[in-house]
């Protein structure tokens, strides 16, 4: 690991001021940053530790819930407010990483998690995300884990988070603080597809800090579910995942959320899939149609072509399980 200076901040304003300096990286749980620093992908000259900031509370917020950015994945997953009212969020968190890593990883850090693309993680390899204009070896290289949705000719790196997929399905809002004050960014706008600037992954500006996430009450939150298909039963990243939520009344779907993980460059809301569900009874037929709609426009490559079919079926599986379980 390349040497760096370290400081721990206890006040948000001071921490924000530090963020303006060159070469500064904020540290929360460390499960992404320390890993990437050891690989030489991240080489900050200063690490500013945010963990002493008072941003760890999980509390009711009107009919919804407010989650501090420093709350650990474990704290969120098992919190009574979350586990009961937002099962999809709890399930997504518990499907990720290991108990030890969930004890470390924070909500803010999870939102900013970096891709597992092996070319990104290897500093000796070209990568447009790491070094603009250096090229993307994944396009024609080994791309089994890479994305089929939201891709560009610059980057096909998959967004690895499970939690973010669930938060998007729940219409969550990310609250950030910066020099210019506070702003609220809907989850749908928080992550951005790579386009021609793959280094830009989120709407977060330099020097801004995520303070908390709010999750509103919604008619479908409680009837929500996360399904993750991976190479083994636990402690593995998604090959394909789906966060689904349905509001059903009178035997008809009133509103729906279908969000894909593991197959896209950002948490991927499949609005066409949702449209297939709304106004119809929740049946296997409409679930299959939703699955097919979810992957419309997918761009498969040599080793990840199976993800098109898999993602389709993951959506169908999640919806079937959801209805079966309700």
Partner 1 sequence: MVAPHVDVSNDEHAELLACRSLVTLRINGRETKLTIAPWTTLLDLLREHLDLTGTKKGCDNGQCGACTVLVDGTRINACLTLAVTKDGSEVTTIEGLSAGDQLHPVQKAFIERDAFQCGYCTPGQICSIVGLLREGRAKTTRDVRELMSGNICRCGAYANIVAAIEDVLTEASHTPDGEREP
Partner 2 sequence: MKNRLIGTSVPRKEAFDKVTGRARYVDDVSFPGMIYGTTVRSKVARGRLRGIALGPGIPWDEFVVVTAKDIPGINAIHLINDDQPCLADGVINHPEEPVVLLAHPDKHLLEKARQAVVLDIDELPAVHSIEDALAKTAVVWGEDNIFKRYTIEKGDIAEAFANADVILEGHYETGAQEQLYIENNGVIASYSEEAGVTIWGSLQCPYYIQKALIPLFGVGPERARVIQLETGGGFGGKEEYPSMIASHAALLAKKAGVPVKIIYDRAEDMAATTKRHPSRTVVRAAVMRDGTVVGLDIDFAIDGGAYSTLSQVVLSRGLIHAAGPYSCPNVHILGRAVATNSPPHGAFRGFGAPQSIFALERHLDEIGKYLGIAPDEIRRRNFVKPGQTLATGQVVRDDVDMNVLLDRALEAAGWGDKKARFAVENREEGSVKRGIGLATFLHGTGFTGSGEKFLASIVGVEATADGHVRVLAASTEIGQGTNTIFAQIAGDALGVDYDVIQVGQPDTAFVPNSGPTVASRTCTIVGKLVETAALGLRQTLLGSGLLEEPYSSEQFVKACSAYVARSGELRAYAEYKQPPYIKWDEDTFKGDAYGAYSWAVYVASVKVDTLTYEATVEDFVALQEVGKVIHPTLAAGQIEGGVAQGIGWALYENVVWKNGRMANDRMTDYIMPTSVDLPPIRALFAESPYSYGPSGAKGIGELPMDGPGPAIVNAILDAVGIGIPRIPATPEVVMEAYLANTSVTRVCRATEVARG
Q: Which does 237 bind (CB under 5 to 8 A by kind): partner 1, partner 2, none?
A: partner 2
How far is it, in rounded angstroms, from Cα 136 to Cα 155? 6
Q: How many residues bind partner 2 (CB under 8 A)?
A: 25
- For residues 242 and 310, the answer to whether their CB atoms sit within 8 Å is no
| Contacts with 39 (C-beta within 8 Å, 6 or more apart), sequence order | 121, 122, 123
Q: Which does 306 bind (CB under 5 to 8 A by kind): partner 2, partner 1, none?
A: partner 2
Please, which residue, 3 or 250, has the CB nearer to partner 1?
A: 3
- Among the listed ranges 87-95, 128-136, 253-261, 311-319, the one in contact with partner 2 (CB under 8 A) is 311-319
Best CA proximity match to 114, nearest among 41, 184, 15: 41
Best CA proximity match to 256, nearest among 223, 289, 229: 223
HSE-up of residue 243 (Cα within 13 Å, Cβ side): 30
Residues 280-309 close enough to bind partner 2 by CB under 8 A: 306, 309
Please, which residue, 56 or 175, has the CB nearer to partner 1?
A: 56
For position 98 contacting partner 1 by CB under 8 A, the verdict is: yes
Nearest approach, Cβ of residue 65 and partner 2 (Å): 29
C-beta neighbour count of 237 within 10 angstroms: 19
Strand boundaries in 157-271, DSSP class E: 173-178, 181-186, 209-215, 224-230, 238-249, 252-261, 268-269
- Among the listed ranges 100-108, 178-186, 252-260, 316-324, the one in contact with partner 1 (CB under 8 A) is 100-108
- Among the listed ranges 4-12, 158-166, 194-202, 208-216, the one in contact with partner 1 (CB under 8 A) is 4-12
Q: Which does 5 bind (CB under 5 to 8 A by kind): partner 2, partner 1, none?
A: partner 1
C-beta neighbour count of 272 within 10 angstroms: 16
- Residues 35-74 vs partner 1: string with x where CB under 8 A? x-xx------x-x-x-x-----------------------
How far is it, in rounded angstroms, from Cα 270 to Cα 242? 10
């Amino acid at each position: 690991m390349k040497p760096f200076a370290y400081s721990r901040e206890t006040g948000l304003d001071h921490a924000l001021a530090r963020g303006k300096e060159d070469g500064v990286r904020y540290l929360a749980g460390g499960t992404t940053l320390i890993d990437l620093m050891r690989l030489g992908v991240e080489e900050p000259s200063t690490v500013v530790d945010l963990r002493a900031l008072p941003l760890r509370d999980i509390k009711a917020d009107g009919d919804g819930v407010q989650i501090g950015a420093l709350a650990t994945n474990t704290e969120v997953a098992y919190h009574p407010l979350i586990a009961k009212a937002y099962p999809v969020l709890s399930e997504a968190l518990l499907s990720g990483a290991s108990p030890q890593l969930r004890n470390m990883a924070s909500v803010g850090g999870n939102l900013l998690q970096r891709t597992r693309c092996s070319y990104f993680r290897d500093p000796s390899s070209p990568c447009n995300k790491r070094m603009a204009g250096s090229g993307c070896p994944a396009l024609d290289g080994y791309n089994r884990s890479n994305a089929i949705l939201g891709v560009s000719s610059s980057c096909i790196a998959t967004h690895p988070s499970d939690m973010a997929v669930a938060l998007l399905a729940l219409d969550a809002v990310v609250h950030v603080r910066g020099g210019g004050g506070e702003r609220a960014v809907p989850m749908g706008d928080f992550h951005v597809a790579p386009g021609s600037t793959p280094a830009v992954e989120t709407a977060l500006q330099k020097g801004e800090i995520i303070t908390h996430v709010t999750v509103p009450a919604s008619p479908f939150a409680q009837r929500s579910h996360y399904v993750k298909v991976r190479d083994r039963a636990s402690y593995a990243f998604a090959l394909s995942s789906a966060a689904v939520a349905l509001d059903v009344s009178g035997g008809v779907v009133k509103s729906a959320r279908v969000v894909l993980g593991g197959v896209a460059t950002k948490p991927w809301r499949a609005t066409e899939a949702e449209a297939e569900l709304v106004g119809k009874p929740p049946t296997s037929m409409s679930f299959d149609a939703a699955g097919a709609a979810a992957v419309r426009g997918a761009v498969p490559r040599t080793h990840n072509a199976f993800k098109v079919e898999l993602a389709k079926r993951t959506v169908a599986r999640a919806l079937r399980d959801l209805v079966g379980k309700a």
